[in-house]
């Protein structure tokens, strides 16, 4: 589709954004086919000294200073010369100005920050915000690709007893624990994105990246095998308990309850549902990307449990 596309990433210092940026810069198919200076990352002035920024710069990324909340003229200046815009910025931020600027400059494809589980409208308010942004992008006439990834393998194992329980490190199970849910690793997301963003078949389509479907019981069994811990003392949250939390005024409590209810009670986040809704399946489009070994992913997790905001990118 593009001879030498210029890719712009907003959110490149986060978990998903940095994985995608490093994947594009690592010397794979995408990087080998491009001229230099083709991956641009948007970085706040206050974040320039972060190790991940230095790492991406050393790998060949070009830094443009700014933020998705900048004035329209500044957004347009930072998007100058860009072919593909990828945003991994959290969806509660107002991203409409960013995509309006992309529309004015004729960006050839945009990928907003979906990168989450599959669900219909009306189930999770965060997902509804993502769907609203999809509709806005379509209203602008912007060429797009929407990408879903299910849930993240690195937060699907039961947390060890030594980790203090919090909303970012839950220590409980949900419902019957036998509802399958799509999962993916950051490595697979990065590998597939390299192909998806330059593929004509994915233009104006929704694409699912996944590494498989697993139940909470399967993740618990594997977690106990790897860690040697017994998680039978962790409580099981009932659908009624989740429903009471789903109307909380605390957006974090509300959103987490809605996500759990959607994935583990309703069973929205499945490959069958994604296919029924017309999503393209990345593993059916592209060969050569191995499915990560789940046991190896578990060993990594229990060696250094992932906690949002505390673990290294």
User: What local confidence, expressed as pLDDT, does residue 32 receive?
Assistant: 46
264 pLDDT band, cuts 50/70/90, is very high
Of residues 174 and 31, which shows the higher confidence score? Answer: 174
Would you say residue 111 lies in a domain? no
- What percent of the chain has pLDDT above 90? 83
DSSP state at residue 123: S
33-44 residue pLDDT tens: 444 448 999 999
- C-alpha 110/C-alpha 82 separation (Å) is 10
Token representation of residue 51: 């190790």
CA distance 60 to 2: 19
- What's the first-to-final CA gap in the chain, in angstroms? 31
Contact 143, 108 (CB under 8 A): yes
H runs (alpha helix) in the chain = 15-25, 29-32, 51-59, 72-78, 96-105, 125-139, 186-196, 216-227, 239-245, 251-260, 271-276, 282-285, 294-303
Q: How far apart are CA 247 and CA 135, in angstroms?
A: 26
* DSSP-derived secondary structure for 177-190: S---EEEE-HHHHH
Residue 235 lies in a domain: yes
Residue 312: pLDDT above 50? no
Give the residue-averaged pLDDT of 4-19. 92
Lowest-confidence region among 59-63, 124-128, 167-171, 275-279? 167-171
Q: Is the pLDDT of residue 128 over 60?
A: yes
- Tell me, yes or no, whether 90 lies in a domain: no
Taking the C-alpha atoms of residue 249 and residue 100, their distance in angstroms, rounded to an integer, is 31
Q: What 8-state DSSP symbol labels residue 243?
A: H
Looking at the domain assignment, is residue 120 inside a domain? no
Domain hosting residue 183, numbered range: 151-202+211-278+285-308
Q: With a cut of 50, say whether residue 89 has pLDDT above it.
A: yes
pLDDT of amino acid 92: 67
Q: Would you say residue 297 lies in a domain? A: yes
**pLDDT for the residue 91:** 66
Give residue 181's pLDDT. 98
The pTM (predicted TM-score) of the whole model is 0.93
* 231 falls within a domain: yes
- We report the CATH number of the domain holding residue 228 as 3.90.25.10
Q: For residue 20, is it within any domain?
A: no
Q: Does residue 188 fall inside a structural domain?
A: yes
Number of domains in the chain: 1
CA distance 253 to 263: 16
- Predicted confidence band at 196 (pLDDT cuts at 50, 70, 90)? very high
Instruction: Pick the more confident residue, 32 or 187.
Output: 187
Instruction: Give CA angle at 73 (70, 78), nearest 5°.
Output: 70
Residue 240 DSSP label: H
Are 113 and 11 spatial neighbours (Cβ–Cβ below 8 Å)? yes
Q: How confident is the model over 239-251, as a mean pLDDT?
A: 94
């Amino acid at each position: 589709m593009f001879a030498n596309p210029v890719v712009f990433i907003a959110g490149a210092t986060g978990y998903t954004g940095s994985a995608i940026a490093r994947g594009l810069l690592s010397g794979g198919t995408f990087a080998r086919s491009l001229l230099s200076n083709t991956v641009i990352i948007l970085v706040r002035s206050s974040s320039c000294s972060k190790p991940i920024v230095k790492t991406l710069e050393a790998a060949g990324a070009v830094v443009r200073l700014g933020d998705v909340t900048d004035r329209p003229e500044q957004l347009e200046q930072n998007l100058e010369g860009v072919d593909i815009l990828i945003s991994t910025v959290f969806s509660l931020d107002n991203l409409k100005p960013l995509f309006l600027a992309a529309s004015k400059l004729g960006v050839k494809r945009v990928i907003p920050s979906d990168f989450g589980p599959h669900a219909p409208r009306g189930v999770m308010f965060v997902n509804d915000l993502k769907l609203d942004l999809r509709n806005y992008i379509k209203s602008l006439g912007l060429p797009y690709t929407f990408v879903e990834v299910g849930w993240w393998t690195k937060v699907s194992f039961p947390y060890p007893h030594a980790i203090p329980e919090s909303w970012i490190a839950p220590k409980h199970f949900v419902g019957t624990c036998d509802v399958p849910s799509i999962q993916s690793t950051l490595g697979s997301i990065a590998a597939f994105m390299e192909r998806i963003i330059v593929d004509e078949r994915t233009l104006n389509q929704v694409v699912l990246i996944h590494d498989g479907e697993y139940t909470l019981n399967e993740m618990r069994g594997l977690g106990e095998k790897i860690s040697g811990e017994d998680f039978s003392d962790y409580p099981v949250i009932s659908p009624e308990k989740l429903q009471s939390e789903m109307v909380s005024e605390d957006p974090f409590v509300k959103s987490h309850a809605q996500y759990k209810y959607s994935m583990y009670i309703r069973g929205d986040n499945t490959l069958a549902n994604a296919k029924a809704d017309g999503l393209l399946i990345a593993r059916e489009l592209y060969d050569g990307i191995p499915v990560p070994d789940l046991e190896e992913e578990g060993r990594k997790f229990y060696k250094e449990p992932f906690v949002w905001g505390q673990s290294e990118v």
